A and B are shown apart, each in its own frame.
Chain A
């Protein structure tokens, strides 16, 4: 903002107000990174070093990679499981959200706002209010009893993955719809209208014009939604339940990791936290801009 342009004009003169601004920014960096820094440092220490050295300072004698070795071996199956449902669920809810936003924004019929309100409200509903019926629904559906699991020789616990795909897709649609809608509101109506006048059907206008235009928003939505689904614990907990299940997602396993009989092994917990966070951290580092956009909308 143009409130503080003085530094630029005055060249390199030290302005106390500017120093204050940068000191504040620095303090904030410390605040936001301290828990992560101590996590990194601790994840590389033996249990002895954890209790005897300062939590913010790396230890040379107490250096170890064992925590990561254990964390990876414990969490790797969970990460595969998480990917198995996070990827399909993300793509499905982004596609369906784009469809819904298109049908509710760039087409012409009355009652759109009414339907839209139901989508928006769906974002804010506390999931606790649907958990019992959700588990009932899948119990009645009985996916785990299907013959296909034994036919394919797959553990029928993987029916939990299918349930998680359906669940995350359904509950992801409202937010994806709203993200796409905010984008479609800015799409030029003249272009669509002239296409429609030239005889393009609603479907054709989507395929030829709207979908290609949506690419940047798809990036935003896919990134946002993948992070949400990967990070979720609640649905995994009630649908897969046991962290010992073959289909247990990474968040479920991490929640139980390190809480051993003899107390909490922090080095292992921290290593586990970083391993579990790896995909979302990678996405964040690579696509920070898109993530910020998804968050802000």
Chain B
């Protein structure tokens, strides 16, 4: 039972996209799709601003959650000193490095604030005591300031960690790893708090009367499992296109699969906790939010979400075999991403489209728009650096687990 010799060192060229490889065209393809999508949104959304901005918000939140989840992945990796995932960490860093882009993609949401957030409409608080109470927090000025703070902090964290990791490609400097580890703890705290309030601001306040203390955790759970799924999918696609085959091995795929399994269970736990406690207490102030999501065809959408986001991945990723077969892992990961998209759709759309759950052409256009730009940016970043941190001091350890 002889196995291939495990590599212990990596040259930058072996981890980068070779010249002439198809992936070099990714920014162009992504950019084209993005422009197509944005034009589609403008054309289709012309007469229905609320639907247009909501569709954009869904697309924005979906791809942002992938980027934020990737940032969590990187920071947690450093904080807990995990060894297995060094080989995939650079890919997560690339995902996280797209965050500054989202500051730009946020502009349509600022433009459409009045359609999305009832409390931004001037005079809304005049006849609503609850909105008057919340006005010190829910006012456009503070809302925009907070958004600025979120993007600033997230960008600083994402770029700081990514840049330092890139610098390490040249020097292999141990001190860089040590420094990144030391600051990952406080960074995680900041990320958790800012991401929580971003979820409150951008999603929860669409229904300003409603509130849930677990909402920030809920958004995190979806973001993290999707980032793990995205990582799995990207790794399998890269290997499929001939890259990194002897660097990222079945053992790493298995570990990524375990992460997807565990965190889809975690998502289900958080989602059920929120639903269950509100259902059991049966207080109208809280149940209105779920009532909107059980109205008309949203009921079916909720059922599909529960089964698709939990039951299906649970049985799919439970056994050993599925996690160790690249095609199976990629399919399962793609499914999880689709379910996460459904989750975001289910969070946002019921407020602006009662009773009708089916996604519209507008939403698809928005997804192409935001997604195209996201993929273009990620593709551009992938071209500029090795896809694996080639001189990370712990790389040999991670490489040794390729068949684990």
The reply to whether chain A is a binding partner of chain B is no
